Structure 1
């Protein structure tokens, strides 16, 4: 049985069952198709550790040349050789509230440079509507937008990386990587879908009272 690590909130959410087609209105079949084509899973992952480790870009190097916030399964280590090292088999618990997901997710840590030249790590906070105790991130799994691409489970040893830390301009940058400047912690007014409206590729240049939300979209 999967378990959630004791430093992460353990919760189960109830979900109202979808009514049978016979209980839907006359256009119920079409409504059901639209619901299935827009399937979404959303859950939170608290911080597992903040460490200079990167088993994907710099495997085995301790410490790595850069710092990450890591979330997910507790088997995270400096060397996680694809296929040979399977987090789903090695981990005994996870910092994610979806307790069947032993994947690891790691993102860059943001620092603020003061006028005197010193650096201070910017704290990460839990997303709106979630109850994480220790920063972390929000994970979304979306169905393909075209409604027809076949979805399959990740194979053992699957790894994926998004972004290029050497970029200093939007040119050559991957689509669906963006930042949103939140006016307040209630995220009001709502800014719409990720990477639309006032969202920017670069970090916002103004004060953001509600924090900065980074969206990192992995290709389907």
Structure 2
């Protein structure tokens, strides 16, 4: 990654924020605030807590799109085995363990739960649980907003190309994705004008106001479309 190219792209992102700040993208900042307010791994009713944590008044697209509904599937898994799923999330959020291994274990557990879920009376056979890198990074970005961003690989890859990265991580190399994204975020945090342009968009009654790496994903998405 060439620093001068990255700084030039950050300037383009700032110009985008000046001219047409896309308030539609702020649903993620509402989701982050909601998750931070409601997530409690020790909650007596884990299913109700999970449902409260993933709420949004603007958009459900972080956890529901056409033919993609991980939140719904996870609620089914929790109803089937709440303490098992509680432990899955505790493991996913254990920052003392390697990220790749945490994600692999979480998806493996979802594979096992999907088979049990399909055997329940009145349940149709589900072909997928939708809990792979994209959704797992939703959880991670909401739980640790200063450490993770969302995982939209193609936008990330093309952005890395635009800043001269010669050895772009493959889609499965999630730890390298995180490392590069944190490096981008470090440069973004040094730009006070950028941070102020972002802050002006936020509503203190609705959005998460603290610094968060969600801004990195928005940067990737905007630069991908530029």
With the shorter chain as reference, the TM-score category is: under 0.3
Higher relative contact order (CA 8 A, sep 6+): 2
Give the TM-score, by structure 1 length. Answer: 0.22
Structure number with bigger Rg: 1
Which is richer in strand?
Answer: 1
Give the TM-score, by structure 2 length. Answer: 0.22
